[in-house]
Every structure is written in structure tokens, then in C-alpha cells.
Amino acid sequence: MNAFIKRLLAFSLGPAGGAVIAFITIPVTTHFVSPEEYGKAGMFALALTMLSTFQYLGIDQAYTREFNEVGDRQSLFLHALMLPLMFAFFLFTLIALNLETASHLLFGVRDQYGAALLLGVSLIFITFERFILLAIRMEEKAFTYSFFNIFIKFVILVATLVFVLFIRRDFLAVVYSTAAGQMLGDLFLMIRYRTCFSLRRFRFDRALMRRMLAFGLPLVVAASASTFLNSAGRLALRTWSSFYDIGMFQAALKIAAVLGVVQTSFTNFWVPTAYRWHSEGRSMHAFQAVSDGVLLCMSVLYLGVLLFKDQIMLILSAQYLPAAGILGLLALQPVLYTISETTTLGIVFSRKSYLNIAVSICALIPCVLINALAVPRFGVFGAALATGISYVLFFWSRSYFSLKNWPGFSLTKHHAVVLVLLLAGIVNAAHFPFMFLVNLGMLLLVILIQLHTLTSLLGRWRAAKKGRESSVSFHD
């Protein structure tokens, strides 16, 4: 148990440190940049996320799946990097040849060629970053992984401070500082791990590449659909609303993304650990104990955020306070994704990656419909509602298909808690007296539903403190 927790904490340092730095960067930016300008900058970040997800071709996920199955890991790294990097250069060329169109789609004007071109350049750099960090993560070098996560975020923070304090205070300040900081941080990472790119003994393995594509390509559809699911709200606002609403949505999304530190920390640790446990034949009780613990932690954390949502949003500046109402609905994304990482194991263990397409469709179609119906009428609330409901469906469908391919464990408690969280997110979109007491009541309700989990965890903690073995062991 102690080794389990220590490794989890080590993997958490990077995302936690990165989240702290991001939490500093966000108010620094929003203090100087209006919601409308922040909305334009948000479209740059959105495009970067959507295109980068597609360009990996699912090979990043195939790389993690093959990591413990092959002998030559450097060769695996080069095979994994090859096609995504080629695709990144293709996208860069496509953007460079259509700068006016790219500028209009991103920022609503046709003359921001430099900012549009930076999108293509950033795609190349983050491809190197993605696979280097994956290699470090899969080797379970937790502190190294954490250091580079913090370092890259810190460079972006410094670049942001330089731009907003000394150069300019519009959306270009956010775009230029983010791109410059990202590229400088990635360049250091590439130099530090330049030996990973040695081609001296490289031999192209057609069978390996075919196996990786067979695993990864179905995930392209699923990953692209998942990214579109995360992006649908902002795309709908870009279509039917204004850059001001996008800025409000983006601001709340950035705060909700701080919860993503838990998601990232846990996923970075859990994916290699779950694969290893599966290969070792660990009992189902071990997987269930982790899932129950994550459910408890994430639900309590979520309702804790809702208790102080107004105070949290004031950190950005008073002009972003209206975004507090949608914070709960947007925070469902990192919360439910983290919980689902413990209930989706049947899909990855069975190698039926194509089921992720069905999962994405189950969440994406309702998301598009709700956005189309609600955003023209309710604006930013309609986009947030679509996001929240869609992630509940994402969690349910991910768990359903997993249990079809794995013995699994009972999820009755999970479903009850998720319904309470969705209700809390919807209720918090309204402003009425005694909201704090309502949130406190829902917090007590989710704790009551998970009372058995809480007492079990306390029992294990006391046993570990006294040096005794718990009934469910988590040895390395």
C-alpha cells in the first residue's frame, strides 16, 4: 500500500506543480485580457488540441500498449514517432498555404498570419513532447516525468508575464506567449533526450508498425470524437454566440481543468500500473478498491469546488464572475473521466479498442443535439449543460462496454453518486439564496452513499500505520 501511494504521489508532483503554475498564469492573463480577447485566444488553444489529437493517429496509445511487450524500446519509440511527426509537418504545410482562412476561423479576422502559422509550428513541437513524456511515463520515472511537466508550464508562465507586462495585452499576447513558452520548453526536452532519436541501429519493422496501427487507428476516431466532445461547447458558441461567451466558457473551463491535475496524475500512474496488475493476475478486489477510492475522492473534491465556486472565479477578476454558474457542469469532465479510468479496464485488457468509438458516439451525438438546441437560446449555459450531460453518458457507456468484456465489479454506488453530481452541477447554474447549504447537503449525501468505502479506507490506513497488512494488498 505504501509503495502504491508513494508512486502515485510521485506521478502527481508534475501535474500538481503544473496546475499551480497554470493557476497563477490564468489570473495573470485574465486580469489584463478582456473576456472577448480571451475567447479568441481560446480558439487557438482549441485548434491546437483538436489537431494534435488527430495527428497522433492513435499511435501514442498503441505505444503504451506495446511498451511492455517488446524488447527494443528505442526502436518502438522511433516507430511510434514516425507517422505522427510526418502528419504534423503535413498540417503545418496545409496551414501555411491557407493563412488567411486559418486566421479567420481562429480569430474572426483574416490578417493574423503570424498567429495562425504558430499553430502549425506548435503542432510539430508538441509531437516530440508527447512521445518523450510517454516514454518517461511508461518507464515509471515519476520524478523525471513530474519535473518536465512543471518545467514546461513554468517557461510558459515566464513568457506570459513578459508579454502581458511589457509587450501587449490582447489575445495575441496569450497566443504568442503560449506558443513561445511551449516551444522553448519542448526544445530543452528534445535536447535532453536527443539519444532517443538515434537512427544508428534502427530497422523498420513492418509487423510492429502494422500492429500499432491496427490498435491505434480505431482510437483515432474515438480520440477525435472525445476531443470534439470536449470542444463542442466552444465550437457551438463560435457558431451561434460571441467571443465574449467563448471567453467566459474558456475561463470556467480553465478553472475546471485544475481538477484535471488529479485526472492527469492518476491516469499517468494508473495506466501502467493497471497493465502490470493485469499481467500479474491481481484479484478483482484490488481493482475495485482503487475504483471506490477514486470515486470517493473525486466526488468530495467536486462538491468542495462547488461550495466555493464564486470565490474561486473571483481570482480571475470580477469581470469573469458570471462564469461561476457553469463551473460545476464543466468540472464534470475531469471528475467523470478520472472515475471512468477505473471502470473502463475491460476495453483495454480485451484489446477491443474499437469499442471506444461506440463510447464516443454515445456521448457525442447527445452533445451535438443539446448544443444545437440550447446554445442559440441559452448561450454559455446551454454549452455547459451539453458538456455535463455528455460526460455522464460517456462514463456510463465506457463502464457498460467494459463490463461486457471483463468480469468487473458492481457499479451501483458509482451510478448513484454520478447522478448526484450531475444534479449539483445543474442546480449551481442558478443563483439563489442558501446555495452553500444545498451544496453542503449534497456533499453529505455522497459521503453517506460511500460510507462503506470511507470506513474501509480508514481501516486500511490504521492497519498500515500500525505496520499490519490490509485485507487487500498493493505490493509492487
DSSP secondary structure string, 2-26?
Answer: HHHHHHHHHHHHHHHHHHHHHHHHH
Q: What is the pLDDT of residue 454?
A: 85
- 258 or 207: which carries more pLDDT confidence? 207
Q: Please say whether the beta carbons of 472 and 286 come within 8 A.
A: yes
Burial class (CB in 10 A: 0-12, 13-18, 19+), 168: middle
pLDDT tier for residue 11 given thresholds of 50, 70 and 90: low
Alpha-carbon distances, residue 317 vs 9, 41, 157, 311, 435 (angstroms) = 32, 17, 18, 10, 22
pLDDT at 373 over 60: yes
Note the pLDDT tens digit of each residue in 374-409: 999 999 999 999 999 999 999 999 999 999 888 878
pLDDT of 271 > 50? The answer is: yes
Instruction: Give all strands (DSSP E) within 96-190, no chain letters.
Output: none
Mean pLDDT of 137-156: 85
Q: Does residue 142 have a pLDDT over 60?
A: yes
In this predicted structure, what is the pLDDT of residue 280? 82
Phi-psi domain of 413 (left: phi exceeds 0; alpha: psi -120 through 50; beta: other): alpha
pLDDT at 470: 47
| Least reliable range by pLDDT among 1-15, 46-60, 272-286, 306-320 | 1-15
Whether the predicted pLDDT of 354 surpasses 70:
yes
Q: Read off the pLDDT band of 7 (50, 70, 90).
A: low
Residue 476's pLDDT band (boundaries 50, 70, 90)?
A: very low
Look at residue 392 in the predicted model and tell me its pLDDT: 96
- pLDDT at residue 260, rounded to an integer: 76
pLDDT at 471 over 80: no
Q: Per-domain residue ranges for the chain?
A: 14-204, 220-467
314 and 252 Cβ atoms separated by less than 8 Å: no
Whether 134 has a pLDDT exceeding 80, the answer reads: yes
Report residue 277: phi and psi, to 5°: -60, -40
Cα separations in angstroms, 334 against 81, 253, 274: 27, 10, 19
236 vs 10, higher pLDDT? 236
pLDDT tens for each residue of 419-463: 999 999 999 988 777 889 999 999 999 999 999 888 887 777 776
Mean pLDDT of the chain: 87
